Amino acid sequence: MEELTVKEQIDCDFHRVGRLGVAFKPQHFESMRAKQRDLADNFGHDTTLLSKSDLRAELGSDYYHGALLDPLSAHLHVGKYVHGLAEAAERAGAQIHERNAATALHRLPEGGFLVETLHGTIRAKQVMAATDAYTDKSLPWFRKRLINVGSFVIVTEPLGEERARQLIPNNRVVVSSKNIGHYTFASPRTTAWPSAAGPASPPPTPPRTSRAVTS
């Protein structure tokens, strides 16, 4: 992905700043120790295990019981990436038809597919279903194999450069080990974004205020 953003000059705030997986409970830290060994032994991937005291250099909080730092992880602005990827696809010759949902998909006996849309029918040799959580009844086989997850964003007031660096000095992406995860990062405008994810069917209720980053 990093190579693609550079090659296609996609301005999406891509930064390889590392992922800081923080332990919500002491036993979660022990699980991280085992995960570190697994990543090294089976995948040749090096990470750094941080004790509770070591974590202070990475996070302006004593709330967690340690962390596992993956230095190769990155984050980006998803909206900007999608727009940049669409522009790159069009430069390569792809045609994008917005507001024209596919309503049905049929495999043809002679090979290929027939795709029904809101504004007509398309014959295609190959079809890629890139609908993810937005998959509807037009792709029933795919839809029943997905579990949607809701995501909620809580945006703080602008923190200012100095305060933001006190909380997350190395601009890491911070992810908690809770069953329903909380992930926190500083935006380019130095605003922290604590978030949480959980099952989206039935519709979830908004999460309570996160205590992920406290001074």
pLDDT above 70: residue 208: no
pLDDT for res 113: 94
Lowest mean pLDDT among 38-47, 70-79, 127-136: 127-136
- What's the pLDDT at 119? 92
pLDDT at 197: 54
Q: What are phi and psi of 199, to 5 degrees?
A: -55, 140
CA atoms within 13 A on the CB side of 55: 24
Using pLDDT thresholds of 50, 70 and 90, give the confidence band for residue 212: very low
- Give the model's confidence band at 116: pLDDT under 50 very low, under 70 low, under 90 confident, else very high: very high
DSSP one-letter string for 104-156: EEEE-TTSSEEEEETTEEEEES------GGG--TTSHHHHTT---EEEEE--P
Q: Parallel, antiparallel, or unpaired: how do β-strands 48-50 and 173-176 relate?
A: unpaired
Is pLDDT above 50 for 15? Answer: yes
Does residue 207 carry a pLDDT above 60?
Answer: no
Lowest-confidence pick of 3-7, 64-68, 204-208? 204-208
Q: pLDDT at position 54, please? A: 95
Residue 185 C-beta-side C-alpha neighbours within 13 Å: 21
Measure Cα distances from 35 to 45, 46, 60, 205 in Å. 11, 11, 24, 32
pLDDT for position 213: 35
Confidence (pLDDT) at 26: 94
Confidence of residue 139 (pLDDT cuts 50, 70, 90): confident
Distances (CA, A) of 87 to 11, 25, 78: 11, 44, 14
Taking only the tens place, the pLDDT of each residue in 80-114 is: 999 999 999 999 999 898 888 889 999 999 999 99
Query: What does the pLDDT read at residue 202?
Result: 44
Residue predicted with more confidence, 6 or 191: 6
